[in-house]
């Protein structure tokens, strides 16, 4: 879906993470938005999870801290690259750009509790989907 409002383009994508080796986010659908301003592609889009998610790289408001959108930005980076990096970060949080202090602290000091909390948030907030639903 692409929506244009006053020179701001919002691309919303629902993606399902089947690749993840962690059960915390497996087989669930998350709504993720990229907001492109009028200076794109010179400046990166802003990234947000609209589905609540417990993760060190995602703030309580859904703002995503992603290296590709911060210090690694290049006009050649496309939505596909961003989504691939995001799935990678679900598996392996990037401690260089943490946005959720609580999730980061728990991840670093009590990994079992982190995965339990992330799994619970995923169960409560993320939509469960099958491959058939994704391919339709």
Calculate mean pLDDT across residues 100-105: 97
Rounded distance between C-alpha atoms, residue 55 and residue 130, angstroms: 23
93, 96, 100, 101: CA torsion to nearest 10: 120
- Has residue 85 got a pLDDT over 50? yes
Domains of the chain, each with CATH number or no CATH: 2-135 (3.10.110.10)
pLDDT tens column, 32-82: 888 888 898 999 999 998 889 999 999 999 999 999 999 999 999 988 888
Angstrom distance (rounded) from CA 128 to CA 124: 10
* pLDDT score of 102: 97
Q: Residue 50 has which token pair?
A: 């609209």
Query: Six-digit token pair at 32?
Result: 């993720």
């Amino acid at each position: 879906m692409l929506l244009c409002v006053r020179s701001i383009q919002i691309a919303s994508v629902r993606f399902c993470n089947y690749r993840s080796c962690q059960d915390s986010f497996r087989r669930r659908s998350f709504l993720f938005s990229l907001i492109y301003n009028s200076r794109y592609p010179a400046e990166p889009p802003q990234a947000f999870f609209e589905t609540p998610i417990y993760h060190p790289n995602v703030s309580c408001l859904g703002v995503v801290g992603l290296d590709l959108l911060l210090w690694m930005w290049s006009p050649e980076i496309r939505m596909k690259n961003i989504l691939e990096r995001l799935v990678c970060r679900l598996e392996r949080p990037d401690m260089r750009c943490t946005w959720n202090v609580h999730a980061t602290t728990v991840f670093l000091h009590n990994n079992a509790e982190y995965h339990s909390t992330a799994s619970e948030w995923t169960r409560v907030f993320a939509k469960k989907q099958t491959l058939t639903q994704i391919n339709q």
